Amino acid sequence: MSRGLKTILRAEGRRCLIETVARGLAGRLRRLTRGRRGLLLLDRAFRAETEDWRDALPGFSLAFTARRGEAAKNWGEARRLLTRMAEAGLARDDWLVVRGGGSLSDLGAFCAGLYRRGLRLILVTTTLLGAVDAAVGGKTALNFGGAKNQVGHFYLPERVLVDLAAFRSLPRARLAEGLAEAYKTGLLFDRNLADLVDRRSAELLAGDQDLLAETARRSFQAKAALVARDFREEKGLREVLNLGHTYGHVAEAHAGLNHGRAVALGLSVAAELSRGRAGLPASEAARIQAVSGRLGGPWPPPVPEAAARRLLQADKKIRGGRLRFVALAEVERPVIMEVSADEILNAAAAALG
Ligand SMILES: NC(=O)c1ccc[n+]([C@@H]2O[C@H](COP(=O)([O-])OP(=O)(O)OC[C@H]3O[C@@H](n4cnc5c(N)ncnc54)[C@H](O)[C@@H]3O)[C@@H](O)[C@H]2O)c1
Ligand SMILES: [Zn+2]
């Protein structure tokens, strides 16, 4: 296992160090921020720790969002946060430290990049999904006009610390969400990561800290390497990260599945289509479907045809009636294909029926 290794994400002349932290987080943050002032945005899950943080970071003021999770990604919260930064009189080389899940890091990074055109930023991620995906990549987001992630910009933090101790309070369903995205990352870029999620899924879902750390590290390494090559998504390289997301989004929108479960379901459908169209060996497709099922199953029935067609039409990757679909020719070999809605519906019927 790779222990204590830092991943460096370089983009646009900036550098972001990503690492797991098992203990001593407060001391770590104190050293990194070196007596400067700042704002600490804490997830409401950690409300009870307020006094500890006041002692640990005396130059910091503390902020919470009014609402938790996804509901915090809005203008009202952003405005409140920017107001707090201004009231604290923060200068450009002061800090915003965000400790929470992906929703909080999307909101916090959004504000950090705007305040005085860029406050120094550390993301402390307390969810596996944050470590695997949300905190790694420099994308910030608010929900707007009824649509998810409709407003945002790119802003790279200086550090991402993966707070392994915080993972202990994550419910199993949230671990499963992060594992579904980690498995996707493994299928795309790192066979050993896919094998780890496959062979050790029971221990991972039970919260085994060493295995979760290894999963997080392999995932952020792979994602960081891709993001560094296409930070602003101008070359289309990040498109492969949509593996499992085309039908996943359909199931998420129609059946209200949480995102991770929807991705696991979408991976099952993608495995089916990859077998038929991209030459993925049947044994590999079956294996992917078995692992996805352990992470997110049992599956609801396929989305009814009319609704599925409507939702696929709304997919932003549609071109001339055909959808751009990420498939696997084999593990670690993604291919982007144009497919019809019929092909996706048939694959869903076979994978989920
Ligand atoms: N910017 C990106 O590239 C990117 C990528 C993927 C996902 N995201 C975003 O990430 C968000 C989802 O993030 P998430 O899944 O990390 O969850 P989250 O931030 O939405 O938090 C979900 C819930 O878990 C609680 N929580 C957080 N950490 C906890 C812990 N350690 N123990 C117990 N409870 C805890 C929160 O208070 C909240 O109630 C979505 O808004 C999604 O759009 C962003
Ligand atoms: Zn996703």
Which of 46, 77, 110, 129 for a ligand 1 pocket mutation test, highest count of atoms within 8 Å of Cβ?
129
Task: Give the Å distance between the CA of 103 and the centre of ligand 1.
Answer: 5
What confidence score (pLDDT) does residue 160 get? 98
Residue nearest (by alpha carbon) to ligand 1 atom 4? 134
Q: What is the mean pLDDT of each run of 10 residues along the chain (353 residues)?
A: 73 96 97 95 96 94 96 98 98 97 98 98 98 97 95 98 98 97 98 98 98 98 97 95 97 95 98 97 98 97 96 77 94 97 97 91
User: Can you give the residue ranges of every domain in the chain?
Assistant: 7-229, 243-352
Three-state DSSP string of the chain: CCCCCCEEEEECCEEEEEEEECCCHHHHHHHHHCCCCEEEEECHHHHHHHHHHHHHCCCEEEECCCCCHHHHCCHHHHHHHHHHHHHCCCCCCCEEEEEECHHHHHHHHHHHHHHHHCCEEEEEECCHHHHHHHCCCCECCEEECCEEEEECCECCCCEEEEEHHHHHHCCHHHHHHHHHHHHHHHHHHCHHHHHHHHHCHHHHHCCCHHHHHHHHHHHHHHHHHHHHHCCCCCCCHHHHHHCCHHHHHHHHHHHCCCHHHHHHHHHHHHHHHHHHHCCCCHHHHHHHHHHHHHHHCCCCCCCCHHHHHHHHHCCCCEECCEEEEEEEEECCEEEEEEECHHHHHHHHHHHHC
What confidence score (pLDDT) does residue 3 get? 46
Task: Give the Å distance between the CA of 245 and the centre of ligand 2.
Answer: 7
| pTM score | 0.96
Which of 43, 74, 243 for a ligand 1 pocket mutation test, highest count of atoms within 8 Å of Cβ?
43
Nearest ligand, measured from the Cα of 149: 1
Which of 21, 65, 98, 103 for a ligand 1 pocket mutation test, highest count of atoms within 8 Å of Cβ?
103
CATH fold of the domain at 243-352: Dehydroquinate synthase-like, alpha domain (1.20.1090)
Pick the CATH number of 7-229 from 3.30.70.270, 3.90.740.10, 3.20.20.70, 3.40.50.1970: 3.40.50.1970
- What lines the ligand 1 site, CB under 6 Å? 43-45, 68-70, 73, 100-104, 106, 126-127, 129-130, 133-134, 137, 139, 141, 149, 166, 169-170, 177
